[in-house]
């Protein structure tokens, strides 16, 4: 376990997050988690940068797992 505390969110990305984005990501999550490929696909189909999708997941309380590329 890490003692880093809560993840700091970059305001450049969080400013672009909408409630609808967070709801859509929550709907894709299983047990509070979403895989990296699912979140990447969401970003691509929604036309948002990976960083914005990642910020939306963070703000929605969704953890990203199985991340191979380090996008989130």
Strands (E), 4-60: 33-35
What does the domain layout of the chain look like in residue ranges?
Answer: 31-72
Tokens of 7: 């993840």
pLDDT, residue 57, reads 96
Contact (Cβ atoms closer than 8 angstroms) between residue 71 and residue 54: yes
Mean pLDDT of the chain: 90
pTM for the complete prediction?
A: 0.85
Q: Which position has the higher pLDDT, 59 or 66?
A: 59
Q: How confident is the model at residue 8 (pLDDT cuts 50, 70, 90)?
A: confident
């Amino acid at each position: 376990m890490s003692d880093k505390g809560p993840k700091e969110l970059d305001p450049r990305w969080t400013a672009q997050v909408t409630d609808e984005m967070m709801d859509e990501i929550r709907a894709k999550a299983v047990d509070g988690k979403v895989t990296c490929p699912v979140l990447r696909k969401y970003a691509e189909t929604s036309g948002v940068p990976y960083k914005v999708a990642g910020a939306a997941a963070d703000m929605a309380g969704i953890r990203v797992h199985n991340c191979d590329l380090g996008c989130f």
